[in-house]
Amino acid sequence: MIWVGIIVIGILILVFATKGKKEESHEGEESEEEPCAELKKLAILYKGKYLVSQEVVEVSYNTPVVFEVQGFDVTGTKEACLEGNQVMWLKSCECTHWTNSNGLVNSVLVNDNTKDTPREIWVKYSNGLTFIWKVKVV
């Protein structure tokens, strides 16, 4: 009879120990989430390629072209979190039109048929970081 009691107590201890480990592992997973890196650089992605500052992108007349903004830490290797409502898409010419004034992804079209004239466009984050590049109709 004593053996049966010891076996039952052993099984109960084993069950409770296993449940405790499962709960701990879920808690550990939640705390392992990495916080966002501090935003120090903006980058623009166009057709799967990062643009260089002041780079000229050739576009067709009155045809939307899509750009995506991304943020990085000071080294440029770790992605930083961006909030779309903190992003502003700006332009230097009235012939250049953004689909939206903010957001992480946006498209621009140029409805000026003056070819080979680069038009400056840029994205600015609420902390003052800015990335500038150009579009020109070809």
CB 124 within 8 A of CB 88: yes
Nearest 5°: phi and psi at 110?
-115, 120
pLDDT per position in the chain (138 positions), as tens? 676 666 667 666 766 666 655 444 455 454 456 788 999 999 999 999 999 999 999 999 999 999 999 999 999 999 999 999 999 999 999 999 999 999 999 999 999 888 889 999 999 999 999 999 999 999
Domain ranges of the chain: 1-33, 41-137
The pLDDT value given to residue 35: 81
Contact by Cβ (8 Å): 38, 74: yes
Q: What is the pLDDT of residue 6?
A: 66
CATH architecture for segment(s) 41-137: Sandwich (2.60)
Residue with tokens 């070809």: 138
Q: In what order do the strands lie in the sheet with 130-137?
A: 56-59, 130-137, 119-125, 87-91
Position 115 scores a pLDDT of 83
